[in-house]
Structure 1
Amino acid sequence: MSFKPVYITNTSSFFPNDPISNDEMEEYLGYLNNTPSRSKGIVLRNNGIKRRFYALTKGGKITHTNAQMTALAVRALFKNPEGLKSFQLLSCGTSSPDQLMPSHAAMVHGWLPETNSIEVVSSAGVCCAGMHALKYAYMSVKTGESETAVAAGSDRISASIVSNNFEDEIQKLKELSDDPYIGFEKEFLRWMLSDGASAFLLTDKPNETGISLKIEWIEGFSYANELQACMYMGADKNEDGTITSYLDYTPQEMVNKSIFTIKQDVKLLSKNIVTLGGVGLKKVLAKHKFDSNDINYFLPHLSSEFFKDKVYNQLIENGTPIPYEKWFINLPTVGNVGAASAYLMVDELFKSGKLKKGEKILLLVPESGRFSYMYTLFTVC
């Protein structure tokens, strides 16, 4: 069987509403204990985020669903509605679907009535969900199952981090100062997560004019066979490391235990997230006989700039160094948009006017859910 080359010929993004500064956040998310957060400033200094987007008004009223945002990103790939009839597959990844059923991709398709009856696929997870969606679309075009496909990554997490979803608690300022990882447990997530969606158009032919991105490979690794869950939602973690589903709690227990707030096991996070990401990268570069010195742009998805130097030093330690001048990150201006973050970096770079044919772009996407990683190499053509 012969395989076709696969190209990204267009990219798009959608952000709900106007950007929100650090000073405005609690006007949208609300206050814990009706008191301005004491930890917010410390966490924001660690994560380096200057602004983000919420599908909310001030006071917490919802303006967009996840499916609506994703559909708007897909629409932006095409100059007119007729273009929506040109693709045969819609592959969507998110960590925050609007409902358990129907699937996220089916709901996105529902907001695109101009499309044909097409295949829809949803990938679940955390930050890697968008990359899994991209890989499915890539394989569909590569094998000839689809001539044209759309892949999308999105998240609308703001509805989960408004104040009424959290227990009344205040982080200890001294603990945050001594160990920034403490802030990751719960309140950290309020000060770094953002909403948005992004989409790619994939075909087996490059653009006739302008640039395209040839997908050379997409690789992924999970370490769930070795490690417990680190980030979880809709569940609680037991002392033995197992997870108890929300389905096994009474409605009152779900409220009392904050089952539907996002939580992280900060000890697992600090010990493994950077190290395993470096191990996987070294493995995938060796598999494809690719030298990190040949990378022109490195796009690592960082949940916080707190990790930037740690990733940099880990790459050096693993013998796969990538100097900072090759890094391209937009975390400070868009926040952490989870499953959309890698797409948003690619979209911004694709439209920047900086890219030259022949250049190599490497994506690294870590996921702390249970330690999964995705790696992708593009060639500008």
Structure 2
Amino acid sequence: MKDVYITKIAKFLPNNPIDNDKMEEKLGVIAGKASKARRIVLRNNRIKQRYYAIDDKGNVTHNNAQLTAAAVEELCDDDFSKEDIELLSCGTSSPDQILPSHTAMVHGFLKNGNLEINSPSGACCSGMNALKYGYMSVKTGQVNNAVCAGSERTSSWMRSDVFENEVAHLKTLEENPILGFNKEFLRWMLSDGAGAMLLENEPKGENALKIEWMEGYSYAFEMETCMYAGGEKLEDGNLKAWSEYPAEVWGEKALFAMKQDTRLLGDNILVKGVDSLKHACAKNNINPNDVDYYLPHISSYYFRERLYEELKLQGIEMPWEKWFLNLENVGNVGAASIYLMLEELKGSGKLKKGDKILLHVPESARFAYTYAYLTVC
């Protein structure tokens, strides 16, 4: 088995940052009324700015595959060209289409010759699963290098026109229709961007990060769906797929909008997350004393204090001085968030040889968690 190192990390954030006051202007007003939920959600998530692939005139500037390709190209220089990539593995929860796969579309924009591609599906963990596929491929010697990416282009899923048919339909049933909070919640939570990592079997460059191990856990066997798109959640907790509805109903129910069962989220995301972290640490014989930087992907600062308390409650307290977050300034970019955090930490000048970094990525879709443990070389 080969050792595997993250030798470069890059990001691409589209256009200028958008502050809280301009979000609704970018995404659009639903049914001519300003959102009442927006201030509540923003007050809790405490995100100050984010990025959208939308210009000042409301036009889309990049699709998801273009964002990802741009991040990948940022990895390239005179020493490593895009033609040198042996494996391309990209994860996202907001692909531009059902088929072809997301990574196939990224490869189409890169136009860099024949190579292996991999497209893990899912939500936030898809970026980590993309990384794990690259990690295993380099470790087993199948390839000498791999480029892995996480990205989101959720703004187009959250624009007002996605919901207008549903609101119009509701008006035929009630005088003052209100879009369900489970749909509007995510409008004020998610943003666009991409991150990419170059994995190699040698520790090239400054502050190369050796991947010591990666672990993943799913609680779908006992938990019902929490975040979803392309279906409707039924009273029994099951999902009814978009393909089982008549086409004329797709707009009436905004079936392709992302939705969140906030009750399930608050009750379970942290409990299951810490439980899985304990399993990962026990399996690999580490504890908080073996961590210098803790990078948890949290969707909202609402969960920051609560995660700390849950860690403490379950006997794996992570001191505040070990935490590193950048949610406030880049927003919740789903599958790309952990890439953006690690890119910022690596470029901060804080890291020194021997430092240990723990990546902790939850996914609320049906409660999955992925971890990576890194050493600075």
**Is residue 68 of structure 1 aligned with residue 66 of structure 2?**
yes
Q: What TM-score, normalized by structure 2, do the two folds share?
A: 0.94
**Is residue 200 of structure 1 aligned with residue 201 of structure 2?**
no
**Is residue 339 of structure 1 aligned with residue 341 of structure 2?**
no
Which residue in 1 is equivalent to 2:174? none
**Is residue 129 of structure 1 aligned with residue 126 of structure 2?**
yes
Which deviations, in whole Å up to 9, do the C-alpha atoms of 1:315-340 show, x marking residues without a partner?
11111111111111110101100110
Counterpart code for 2:15: N
Q: What TM-score, normalized by structure 1, do the two folds share?
A: 0.93
**Is residue 190 of structure 1 aligned with residue 201 of structure 2?**
no
**Sequence identity percentage:** 53
Which residue in 2 is equivalent to 1:151? 148
CA contact (8 A) 1:30 1:59 kept: no
**Is residue 9 of structure 1 aligned with residue 34 of structure 2?**
no
Which residue in 2 is equivalent to 1:55? 53
Distance 1:359 1:352 in 2: 14
TM-aligned CA distance change 1:135 to 1:185, over 3 Å: same
TM-aligned CA distance change 1:355 to 1:184, over 3 Å: farther
Distance 1:299 1:244 in 2: 35
Counterpart code for 1:102: P
TM-aligned CA distance change 1:298 to 1:184, over 3 Å: farther
CA contact (8 A) 2:37 2:181 kept: no
Query: 1:80: Cα distance to partner?
Result: 4.4
Counterpart code for 1:11: I
Which deviations, in whole Å up to 9, do the C-alpha atoms of 1:271-301 show, x marking residues without a partner?
1100000000011101101011221111000
* Mean CA deviation greater in 267-276 or 6-15: 267-276
Query: 1:81: Cα distance to partner?
Result: 9.5
Counterpart of 1:313 (choices 309, 316, 332) is 309
Q: 1:226-375 alignment to 2 at 5 Å?
A: 226-375=222-371
CA contact (8 A) 2:186 2:260 kept: no
TM-aligned CA distance change 1:223 to 1:309, over 3 Å: same
Which deviations, in whole Å up to 9, do the C-alpha atoms of 1:59-98 show, x marking residues without a partner?
5321101001100100000114961121210000000111
How many residue pairs get matched?
365
Which residue in 2 is equivalent to 1:34? 32
Counterpart of 1:95 (choices 68, 84, 93) is 93
Which deviations, in whole Å up to 9, do the C-alpha atoms of 1:172-202 show, x marking residues without a partner?
xxxxxxxxxx996222211121100000000
Distance 1:184 1:198 in 2: 30
Distance 1:188 1:56 in 2: 20
Query: 1:116: Cα distance to partner?
Result: 2.4
Other structure's SS at 2:185 match: helix
TM-aligned CA distance change 1:6 to 1:82, over 3 Å: closer
Distance 1:73 1:155 in 2: 12
Counterpart code for 1:88: E
Moved over 3 A (4+): none
Counterpart code for 1:237: K
Query: 1:38: Cα distance to partner?
Result: 2.1
Which residue in 1 is equivalent to 2:220? 224
Other structure's SS at 1:302 match: coil
CA contact (8 A) 1:153 1:340 kept: yes
Unaligned stretches of 5+ residues in structure 1: 170-181
Which residue in 1 is equivalent to 2:175? none
CA RMSD of aligned residues (A): 1.5
Distance 2:355 2:184 in 1: 40
Query: 1:253: Cα distance to partner?
Result: 1.0
CA contact (8 A) 2:157 2:257 kept: yes
Other structure's SS at 2:167 match: coil
Distance 1:109 1:80 in 2: 20
CA contact (8 A) 1:85 1:116 kept: yes
Query: 1:39: Cα distance to partner?
Result: 2.2
CA contact (8 A) 1:12 1:73 kept: yes
Counterpart code for 2:240: T
Counterpart code for 1:72: A
Distance 1:376 1:44 in 2: 30
CA contact (8 A) 1:155 1:195 kept: yes
